[in-house]
Copies of this chain bind each other. A is one copy, B any other.
Amino acid sequence: MATEMDIAAVEQRTVDLLLPLCRMPSVSAEDGAQQETADLVESMLAEAGFVARQLRGDAGPPAVWGELRGASDWTLLLYNHYDVQPADPVELWDSPPFEPSIRDGKLFARGVADNKAQIALRLAAIAAFGREPPVTIRWILEGEEEVASPNFESIVSKHRELFRADGCLWEGGALASDGRPDFGLGVKGVLAVRLDVELLSGDAHSGTAGVVPSAAWRLVEALGTLRDPDGRVTLDGLDEPARSPSDEELQAVDESGPLFEQELRDAYGVEHFVADLHGGELLRRLAFSPSLNIAGFHTGYGGPGVKTVLPAQASAWVDFRLVPEQQSDRVLELLRGHLDRRGFTEIQITPLAKAEPAATPLDDPFVRRCAAVAEAVFGKPPWITPMVGGSLPFIASLQRHVGMPGLSVCDNATYYGCAAHAPNEHIRLADITPAIEYLLALLTELGP
Give A contacts to B, CB under 8 Å.
188, 190, 192, 199-202, 204-214, 216-217, 220-221, 223-224, 227, 229, 231, 264, 267-274, 277, 282, 285-286, 289-302, 305-312, 314-315, 317, 319, 321, 352-353, 388-391
Q: Are A268's CB and B204's CB within 8 A?
A: yes
Q: Could you give 25 example pairs across A and B, Cβ below 8 Å?
A: A199-B271, A200-B268, A205-B390, A207-B388, A208-B264, A209-B291, A209-B293, A212-B270, A212-B273, A212-B274, A213-B270, A213-B272, A213-B273, A216-B294, A217-B227, A217-B231, A220-B297, A221-B229, A224-B224, A294-B299, A295-B306, A297-B300, A302-B315, A306-B319, A308-B353
- Rounded to whole angstroms, the CA-CA distance of A210 and B231 in the bound complex is 6
- Rounded to whole angstroms, the CA-CA distance of A311 and B319 in the bound complex is 13
- Which residue of A211, A216, A264 has the most chain B CB atoms within 10 A of its CB atom? A211
- What residues on B are CB-neighbors of A293 within 8 Å? 206, 209, 214, 308, 310
Min Cβ gap A69→B in Å is 38
Extra contacts besides A211-B231, A308-B353 (5): CB < 8 Å:
A209-B291, A213-B273, A295-B308, A305-B352, A306-B352
Q: Are A296's CB and B302's CB within 8 A?
A: yes
- What residues on B are CB-neighbors of A306 within 8 Å? 192, 295, 317, 319, 352-353
Q: Are A209's CB and B300's CB within 8 A?
A: no
Q: Are A282's CB and B188's CB within 8 A?
A: no
- What residues on B are CB-neighbors of A214 within 8 Å? 274, 293-294
Partner among B285, B302, B305 whose Cβ is within 8 Å of the Cβ of A298: B302
Task: Take A190-B308, A207-B389 as given contacts and tell me if A213 and B298 are in contact as well, using a CB distance cutoff of 8 Å.
Answer: no
Residue of B nearest to A200 (CB): B268
How many copies of this kind of chain does the complex include? 2
Task: Take A212-B264, A282-B211 as given contacts and tell me if A217 and B298 are in contact as well, using a CB distance cutoff of 8 Å.
Answer: no
- What residues on B are CB-neighbors of A298 within 8 Å? 297-299, 302
- Rounded to whole angstroms, the CA-CA distance of A190 and B202 in the bound complex is 22
Residue of B nearest to A294 (CB): B216
Q: Are B289's CB and A319's CB within 8 A?
A: no
- What residues on B are CB-neighbors of A211 within 8 Å? 231, 264, 273-274, 277, 282, 285-286
- Rounded to whole angstroms, the CA-CA distance of A273 and B209 in the bound complex is 10
Residue of B nearest to A148 (CB): B306
Residue of B nearest to A351 (CB): B306
- Rounded to whole angstroms, the CA-CA distance of A206 and B390 in the bound complex is 8
- What residues on B are CB-neighbors of A231 within 8 Å? 209-211, 217
Min Cβ gap A175→B in Å is 20
- Rounded to whole angstroms, the CA-CA distance of A268 and B210 in the bound complex is 14
Partner among B213, B273, B296 whose Cβ is within 8 Å of the Cβ of A274: B213
Q: Are B296's CB and A200's CB within 8 A?
A: no
- Rounded to whole angstroms, the CA-CA distance of A319 and B209 in the bound complex is 9
- Rounded to whole angstroms, the CA-CA distance of A220 and B297 in the bound complex is 10
Q: What 6 A-B pairs have minimum CB-CB distances, sorted nearest first?
A: A207-B389, A201-B269, A209-B293, A210-B291, A296-B300, A216-B294
- What residues on B are CB-neighbors of A297 within 8 Å? 216, 220, 297-300, 314
- Rounded to whole angstroms, the CA-CA distance of A206 and B319 in the bound complex is 8
Q: Are B295's CB and A309's CB within 8 A?
A: yes
Partner among B200, B224, B277, B311 whose Cβ is within 8 Å of the Cβ of A270: B200
Partner among B188, B210, B285 whose Cβ is within 8 Å of the Cβ of A321: B210
Q: Are B220's CB and A224's CB within 8 A?
A: yes
- Rounded to whole angstroms, the CA-CA distance of A353 and B308 in the bound complex is 10
- What residues on B are CB-neighbors of A268 within 8 Å? 200-202, 204, 208, 212, 312
- What residues on B are CB-neighbors of A319 within 8 Å? 206, 209, 306, 308
Min Cβ gap A219→B in Å is 8
Q: Are A295's CB and B311's CB within 8 A?
A: yes
Min Cβ gap A280→B in Å is 12
